[in-house]
Amino acid sequence: MKFKSIIFVLLLAIAFFSCDDNDDVKNAEPHLVMRFKFDAAQPRLNNLGQPVAVADGNAAQSPSFNAISSHYIEMAPNANTALGMGTVLYHAPETMAGGEKAIDFSQSKIVGENEIFLSIPLSQVATGSYEWMRVSLSYQDYNINILHQGVDYNGTLASFVGFKTYLTTHHIGNSSFPVNGNREQGYWALNVNGMPFSGQTPAGATTVPNPLYATSPIPPKSCVVTGKFAAPLVITGNETRDVEVTLSLSANNSFEWKEVHVDGKYEPSAGENVVDMGLRGLVPSYQK
C-alpha cells in the first residue's frame, strides 16, 4: 500500500507540473519580433527612393554582410506621419562622452542576418494600421573585395552610418582602431589581411532612401531608411501569436568608391576613396 501511495503522489505531481507548463505556453504574451535581411537583388535606390545607377567615374560592389545595428525604429501609419510621430519601437543608448550627443557604440546591439534584433510585447505597441517602417541604421559589418599592390584580397569593413558615433578602441579581426572620440556619419575602418585602413566619406554623402521625402522628410545625417509594407500591418491588441517583421535591406552596389584605376576594383592603396556606404532601400514584410 505504501508503494502504491508513492506512485499516486508522483502521478499527481507530474500532472500538476504538466498543467503548469501548458498554462505558461497559453499565457505567454505575444511579441513584435524584428529581424534584418540583406538582399543584393533588391532595387538600388537614391535618397528619394527612386532607382539609380552607379555615378559616372565611380565603381561599386555588393558587400557580403556579417552584422548590422540600428539606432532607431519607428512604424508610421501613413505617408503624412512626421518622423517621431508614429509608434517608436526602439532607441539605442547615446552618450555625451565625446563632447556632443552620439550613439554609444559600446552599448549597441549588433546582430547577423535573421537574428532577432528587437522583441517587445505587443501590449507595448499602439494599436492601429501601419503602412511604413522607418529604420535609422548605425553600423554595418561586411566583407568586400580589395585590390592591394596587384593582389586581390577579401577584407572586412566596419561602416558607421549613424548621425554621430562615440568610439573608444574598436576591433576588426586582429586590427585595432583607437578612436576615443566621436566620429561623424561615414567613418569607416577596414582590415585587409591584417593591414588596417580607415577613412571618412564626405559629410552628408551617405545615401538614405526616403520615398516620403515630400510629405515626411528626415533630418540630415539621420540615416532613417524608409520602406512600405505591401499591405498595412494592423495591430489590434487581440493578437495571440507573435508578429514577425523582416526588414529587408538592399545591398545592391551599396559600397561605392571614386575610381583612380578604372578597373572596377576597390584599391585603397591607390587613393581610391569611399564615397558612399548607405544601404539602398528597405522592404519590410510581416507574418502574423
Cα–Cα dist 280/47, whole Å: 9
3-class state of residue 268 by DSSP: helix
Distance CA 273, CA 57 (A): 12
CA dihedral 236, 237, 243, 245 (to 10 degrees): 70
195 pLDDT band, cuts 50/70/90, is confident
pLDDT at 202: 85
Report the chain's mean pLDDT, rounded to a whole number.
91
> How high is the pLDDT of residue 28?
86
Contact assessment for residue 249 and residue 225, using Cβ atoms and an 8 Å cutoff: yes
Helix (H, G, I), strand (E, B) or coil at 19: helix
> Which residue bears the cell 513584435?
32
Residues 92, 160: Cα–Cα separation, whole Å: 14
Positive or negative: CA dihedral 159, 251, 92, 102: positive
The listed range with the strongest mean pLDDT (6-15, 22-31, 223-232) is 223-232
Query: What is the pLDDT, as a whole number, of residue 10?
Result: 46
The pTM score is 0.89
Q: What is the pLDDT of residue 132?
A: 98
**Alpha carbon distance 254, 65 (integer Å):** 11
Question: Residue 122: left (phi > 0), alpha (psi -120 to 50), or beta?
Answer: alpha
Shortest CA distance to 220 belongs to which of 208, 232, 202? Answer: 208
Q: Are 61 and 255 in contact (CB under 8 A)?
A: yes
Rounded to 5 degrees, φ, ψ at 23 are -65, -40
Task: Give burial (CB, 10 Å; 0-12/13-18/19+) of 237.
Answer: exposed
Question: Mean pLDDT over residues 189-195, rounded?
Answer: 91
pLDDT at 13 over 80: no
pLDDT at 12 (0 to 100): 47
- Per-residue model confidence (pLDDT) at position 204: 77
Q: What pLDDT band is residue 5 in, cutting at 50, 70 and 90?
A: low
Is it the case that residue 3 has pLDDT exceeding 80? no
Burial of 9 (0-12, 13-18, 19+ CB in 10 A): exposed
| 3-state SS, residue 156 | strand
Q: Give which of 164, 138, 120 is closest to 72, Cα–Cα.
A: 138
Of 242, 246, 243, nearest to 227 by C-alpha is 246
Better-scored residue on pLDDT, 57 or 18: 57
Instruction: Give the DSSP letter of residue 106.
Output: G
